[in-house]
Amino acid sequence: MDLDGTLLDSKSSISSLNHYILQSALDSGIGLLIATGRRFSSALPYAREFRGDVTVVANNGQVLRSSPSGDRISETYLSTQAAGAVLSLGKSEGFSPLLHVDRFEEGTDILVESSITDDCFHNYSGGDTKRTKIVSDTLDHVEDRALVVCFLSLEKEHLQDLESKLLSLPEAKEYRTVITKIPGVSYCLEVLEKGVSKWAAIESYLKISGLDGKGVISFGDEWNDREMLRYSGYGFAMKNAVPKLKEEAEYITKYSNNEDGVAMTLLELGVLSFS
C-alpha cells in the first residue's frame, strides 16, 4: 500500500484500526509492503510502527529495503547521462532540482543547490535539513547513486511543460516521468529509470519470496500507483484517489484514507476478521 492519501490519514498518521488490522495480517503470516514515493528514511518510521518484518518500496520503486533493519534488497539508479541531461534542462528552465541519492547509511538522501527551507521547495520533506546536503552544482553528482530527480511547482501546467521538454530529449529512452500532488507541498515532477515503478520493485520482492502477484492486494491514490493496482490480484484505488486513477482501477474502496479505507476493505473482503 501507498502511504500518503492511502494508509496515512490527512494528519499523516496511521489510524488505530488500520494499525490493528495490518498488525493482525503480519501476525498471521501475511506479508506487508509499504510502497511509496517517499525516500526510505521518511517511510521507515511508519514501517517501524509495526512489529515484525515490513518491506518498503521507496522512491517509487528505485529502492527496496526491509524494516526494521533497513537492510537493502535491491536498487536501481539513473544513468549518468540521463541524470545529467535532466538536471541541465530543468535548471535551464529555471527550476531548482532536488537530486535523491542512495546514501541512507551515510545520513544523506537529497542534494540541493540551496537550503531545503527556501521558498522554491515549498516545505518539501518538511524542511528536513538533517538528511539534505547543499552542493554547489547537482550536475557534479550525477554519479553519486542518483535515484530520482525532482522538480516542484505550485502550477501543474509548469511541470507538464517541463515534462514535455524532458521527454523530447535523446536520453528520454532511459527514463520515465511522473507528476503527483504532494499534500501540503506542491506538484512534483519525478524522473526515474525507465523500467522502474512500485510494481517492478514489488515483483522483485515476489520473485525473491517465491510468491505470485495474484496473491497481492494493493491500495493507492495517485497516478504513481497505476502499475501496482493494474497488476496486483486485487488493486484498489482509494475513494479519495485522483479521478484518473479511479477511471483505470478495477476496484475502488468505499472508504477514504480518513475513513480507515485500507482496514475496512480488508475486513469486507474477509481477508481478516476481528477475533
One-letter amino acid of 101 = V
The whole-number pLDDT of residue 126 equals 84
Give the pLDDT band (50/70/90) at residue 274.
Answer: low
The whole-number pLDDT of residue 264 equals 97
Which residue matches cell numbers 477511471? 247
Calpha distance 159→220 (Å, rounded): 22
pLDDT tens across 110-120, in order? 999 999 999 99
The highest-level CATH class for domain 80-193 is alpha beta
Q: What is the mean pLDDT of residues 213-233?
A: 96
Q: What is the mean pLDDT of residues 85-105?
A: 97
26 Cβ partners below 8 Å, 6+ apart?
32, 50, 51, 52, 54
| Segments of the chain assigned to CATH 3.30.1240.10 | 80-193
Residue 67: strand, helix, or coil: strand
Calpha distance 88→251 (Å, rounded): 40
* β-strands 217-220, 187-193 pairing: unpaired
Count of C-beta atoms within a 10 Å radius of residue 63: 26
Strand partners, 108: 103
Instruction: For domain 8-75+196-269, give the fold.
Output: Rossmann fold (3.40.50)
Residue 90: strand, helix, or coil: helix
Q: What is the mean pLDDT of residues 215-235?
A: 96
Cβ atoms of residues 30 and 247 within 8 Å: no
With a pLDDT cut of 70, the percent of the chain lying above it is 99
| Segments of the chain assigned to CATH 3.40.50.1000 | 8-75+196-269
The whole-number pLDDT of residue 227 equals 96
Grid coordinates of 264: 475496512
Q: Does pLDDT of 273 surpass 90?
A: no
User: Omega before 68 cis (within 30°)?
Assistant: yes
Calpha distance 241→7 (Å, rounded): 12
Per-chain mean pLDDT for the chain: 95
